[in-house]
Amino acid sequence: MTHEEVMALMEEIGLPYAYHHFAEGESPDLPFAVFLYPGSNNFSADGKVYFKTDRLNIEIYTDIKNIELEQQTEAVLDGHGIFYEKSEVWIESENLYEVLYQMEV
């Protein structure tokens, strides 16, 4: 999946989003999303990268548990045939939930 396709995926989710983070003082009202490529899981052959795979994290931030938003996000990922892992944390210092979707693209 190209970066342009990931951007289209983020558009389809329908939340304000940024790569990695919003600039100081420019984050939108909740809910919002960020995405980033924290690494890769490339396949090698003959000592070279044979097939490139990027890890992609999509982080959804809300101030309340929002099942409908999670279902909406998962419907987009499922619609594109993307396998993902999901986790959730409460960020006490920010009073926010972070729902993290991790996948390879």
**What is the CATH number assigned to the segment(s) 3-44+52-104?**
3.30.2000.10
pLDDT tens, 13-37? 999 999 999 999 998 999 999 999 9
pLDDT band, residue 12 (cuts 50/70/90):
very high
Q: Where are the domains of the chain?
A: 3-44+52-104
pLDDT at 104 (0 to 100): 96
**SS3 for the chain, per residue?**
CCHHHHHHHHHHHCCCEEECCCCCCCCCCCCEEEEEEEEECCEEECCEEEECCEEEEEEEEECCCCHHHHHHHHHHHHHCCCCEEEEEEEECCCCEEEEEEEEEC
pLDDT at 34 (0 to 100): 98
pLDDT at 30 (0 to 100): 97
Predicted TM-score (pTM) of the model is: 0.93
- Of the listed ranges 19-23, 45-49, 82-86, the one predicted with least confidence: 45-49
